[in-house]
Structure 1
Amino acid sequence: MIQFPRFMSAFVPPRPEPLPAPAGNAPTLQPAPQPRPFGPVSAFDSTPVPASNLHTERLGDGSANCLEKAVGLARPGDSIVLMRDASDGVGHALVRRPDGSVVDPNHPTVRYETLGQWQAMHPRYSQPVPVPASKMQQVLSTPPGPQREALIQKLGLSGVADRQVADGERWATPKTEGNLNVRSGPDTTYADIGDQWPGDAMQVLEQEGSWLKVKLKDGSEGWVYEPLTKATEAPPPPPPPYESPIPRWMANGTCPPDIEMHVWNALPKESRAESIQTAREKVVAENWPMPEFDVNGPPPASVDSLVWDHLPPEGKESLFRQEWQAAVREQTALIFNGVPEGGAVAEHPFLGVDSSLGNGQVGEWLDNALQVGSAAQYIDLEKALGPGWRQIHYNLCGPLAVGASLGMSPKEALTAFAATSAGILNGGGTTTATPLETVYEARGWTTGYTSGAASMPAPEDMARMLEDGKALIALVNIDTKGADGMLSLFDDSTKAVAHWVNVRAVEDNGKGGWTVRVYNPFENREEIYSWEDFEASWGKNGGLVPSTEVEGEFVFRFNAGHGLLVATPPPPDAATSP
């Protein structure tokens, strides 16, 4: 489940602390107490894991440090990279895959693209020494002693065998509800410099008596009273810095690295432009792989259904490929040449290559429409779902956006929503996030909904979510009159309406600009916006909604801006509902 930061309550009763020494004459100065390791009275499990090296490390001895963890994570062909810590000489062990990516045993689910990327986030580590994981496994599988020493010599590892590694980080968090004071020194007489709350992870640097010196999330340091804390796991690291898949030469349309400059300059201008365009389309096509062709599927958006029905299978497949290639060319132009202000409607929707989604009022959208020419999401539910359902419904954007993210036709999407929220569907009103989450959860997905500027993810974060297979449903503002249902700034809208859309892609152009492709159920189409235009419509959405009744009258409020439903699919082997 994706969680975004939320603000804590403004007031929580403080935790008790030991009382300060009574006032009076200044006490005689005593030597400062020596730091002590975590002992039996500590809330922590054990002393820090001691440093070890290839001579001394024992597998399975109950003190698994980073070296043992790295060996356990390694696969055939991997290397164990031994790093030196500039602060104390005791380093760290990493796993490097054959493709150059790196895994840190402290956070094994996080993948770093390169060792340099990991080092940029951990600048105190340097001097990497790679050792084949197979050799490391051989050495550590042999008990310390003469036999291991002989093996170290035989494998040529004498030069790295003395390198010390350890994984002795300790983390603490407040033990119970309430704030924990952070002080400038190890006593209540020192100034209170901040607070920590349950769930806040603090890295323990040292201990003096009952006080822990800790490093906080923002990098500052202070002291907390140890009996009011408990051990916790290290927090996950922040995501690696975003690296654009678009190389600079491609973004700027300059000489590719595999062509010498004098050769490039000698090419005709048209040839250079064609070369750049081909490279750009290749990158876009990798992000939008062509779906499998289904001879019984609906026609692409550019092909009339009557013509399609009379084509032989090979003719249908040829047009299918042409439509996909046209969609790639269109997306390439929008990413690299820029999206028009106010957004653009996709003439070649990727969804529409192999479905009726994104193609406007066609197929089921026409069969179940209130009337020809009405907004595509204005559907007669009695036509779509059968007798007993209301005929007129204008507020179906939520179920249809969720359905599109799951690859459903409109009838399939409405049927799925009816199975869990029939009352809402037959009531004709608007849909909040909760019933939309239920549709995903019935299929084994996990969900989370956030709103407000503080929880708004950056474009690169949304791109990562989509790359991980998550579905994103955003609550935006559309203008149903002045902009034909396009996403629009609330203050510029002729008729502002709060509206659910499915965010299909968030892509960058290699120069800091981002495009956002959404599926908009209002007219059943894909639309592309600059990040700035998308964010403007996302920040404040239309339609004042009743909040609470005060003295017989409703008090109205706006929907919270930046509403985002994030749905995470179940593991591939998990059993899900149909």
Structure 2
Amino acid sequence: MGDDLTEAFLIYMFGLEGAVLYGMDARFSDDGSLQGVVVEDDQRLLQNFEYHRYSGGRHAQDINLDLISQFEGKGYGVNSGDLQGIHYNLCGEITSSVTTGVDPIKALIKFEQIYIENYGVVYTDGVAILEDHTMGTDAGDLSALMEEYGWHGERVGNADDLYPWRDERGWQPKPDQVADHLNNGRAVIALLNLDTITEFIEPVNNRNDASHWVSILQVIETREGDTVVRIFNPYQNREEWYPFDHIVDSWELQGNQTEPGPNYRAVVGTPPEELSWLPNP
């Protein structure tokens, strides 16, 4: 594929489907519609953390926690049978760590130590989450992990949040809003819908759906005026391109869009001052 700019240039010139003709790896549904375009290994903007070496299943994020020496014998993940030790809901921890430049295994060890309680209410309990393979993470958990590495995480999705998506154009995230965060060095970790059969980000179909944290890395507009985004998807430890509208249609919603939310939830991460000069991933 050439250097790192080749991929974005092809998409700018020809759009996602046109870029496939030049060698990009695309996946199509049975009806012929584009599901997603997988980024070539040598084109990835993020360092490729090889955390799937700890995977006990065919999905990279299904890490077998028993294989991590610090967790051995603690009963984390599935606690019996052939799948013992496997945790199925680590997308939040993995995405937060990779986005902030931290090895996911080291971040999981750090996450175990996080316990935040206020006035008798437990907000984050790393041990409890690691023990229960069905338990995922919320925006507060991701922010707590990012704070351990000097980042500041802000929840997005409620009307009174610091970075609300809502404006005179509607409740949904807009390309310029997401791009503005990235262009100012902030990370955007979004709660989208994963189709666990196709393994791509898809709108809810009430069959194979799973709420799934991903990191939005790049927003570009093609010469035809279409907006596309590059994301990091921890499910198979890869980066993928999608039309921006497809991402919005797949973004997590609760209830309708005429109420204060939470809708289109995300975490916006601001790096520590010593990293603020770096470009976004």
TM over 0.5: yes
Partners of 1:489 and 1:415 lie apart in 2 by 33
- Give SS of 2:35's match: coil
| Residue identity opposite 2:48 in structure 1 | S
- Give SS of 2:218's match: strand
| Partner of residue 219 from structure 2, selected from 483, 496, 506 | 506
In the TM superposition, 1:466-481 aligns within 5 A as: 466-481=182-197
Q: Given the superposition, is the C-alpha separation of residues 441 and 456 from structure 1 closer, same or farther in structure 2, using an over 3 Å criterion?
A: farther
> Alpha-carbon deviation of 1:446?
2.2
In the TM superposition, 1:283-362 aligns within 5 A as: 325-340=2-17, 341-348=34-41, 350-351=43-44, 355-357=47-49
What are the superposed Cα offsets for residues 310-367 of structure 1, whole Å, 9 maximum, x if unpaired? xxxxxxxxxxxxx7x34422222123311243221112354477x434xxxxx4412x
| Unaligned residue ranges in structure 1 (runs of 5+) | 1-322, 358-362, 545-558
Higher relative contact order (Cα pairs below 8 Å, separated by 6+ residues): 2
- Give SS of 2:102's match: coil
Q: Given the superposition, is the C-alpha separation of residues 440 and 336 from structure 1 closer, same or farther in structure 2, using an over 3 Å criterion?
A: same
Larger Rg: 1
Counterpart residue number, 1:416: 110
Counterpart residue number, 1:265: none
| Unaligned residue ranges in structure 2 (runs of 5+) | 18-33, 77-84, 115-125, 159-164, 256-260, 277-281
Contact 1:449 1:566 in 2 (8 A): yes
Partners of 2:109 and 2:13 lie apart in 1 by 40
Partners of 2:11 and 2:228 lie apart in 1 by 8
In the TM superposition, 1:479-494 aligns within 5 A as: 479-481=195-197, 483=198, 485-491=199-205, 494=207
Partners of 2:275 and 2:11 lie apart in 1 by 38
| Residue identity opposite 2:106 in structure 1 | E
Query: How many residues of Structure 1 are paired with residues of Structure 2 in the alignment?
Result: 223
In the TM superposition, 1:447-458 aligns within 5 A as: 447-451=153-157, 454=166, 456-458=172-174
- Give SS of 2:8's match: helix
Identity %: 27
| Residue identity opposite 1:424 in structure 2 | I
Contact 1:330 1:348 in 2 (8 A): no
TM-score by length of 1: 0.36
> Alpha-carbon deviation of 1:409?
2.5
Counterpart residue number, 1:370: 56
| Residue identity opposite 1:419 in structure 2 | Q
Counterpart residue number, 2:279: none
In the TM superposition, 1:84-483 aligns within 5 A as: 325-340=2-17, 341-348=34-41, 350-351=43-44, 355-357=47-49, 363-366=50-53, 368-371=54-57, 374-384=58-68, 385-387=70-72, 388-390=74-76, 391-420=85-114, 421-428=126-133, 429-451=135-157, 454=166, 456-481=172-197, 483=198
What are the superposed Cα offsets for residues 266-290 of structure 1, whole Å, 9 maximum, x if unpaired? xxxxxxxxxxxxxxxxxxxxxxxxx
| Partner of residue 263 from structure 2, selected from 524, 539, 561 | 561
Contact 1:501 1:520 in 2 (8 A): yes
> Alpha-carbon deviation of 1:376?
0.6
| Residue identity opposite 1:473 in structure 2 | I
> Alpha-carbon deviation of 1:382?
1.4
Partners of 1:350 and 1:416 lie apart in 2 by 30
TM-score by length of 2: 0.71
- Give SS of 1:528's match: strand
Counterpart residue number, 2:80: none
Partners of 2:274 and 2:241 lie apart in 1 by 31
| Residue identity opposite 2:39 in structure 1 | A
| Residue identity opposite 1:512 in structure 2 | G
Contact 2:191 2:213 in 1 (8 A): yes
Partners of 1:536 and 1:425 lie apart in 2 by 30
What are the superposed Cα offsets for residues 513-559 of structure 1, whole Å, 9 maximum, x if unpaired? 21111000011110100111111111548xx9xxxxxxxxxxxxxx9
Q: Given the superposition, is the C-alpha separation of residues 540 and 344 from structure 1 closer, same or farther in structure 2, using an over 3 Å criterion?
A: farther
Partners of 1:476 and 1:494 lie apart in 2 by 15
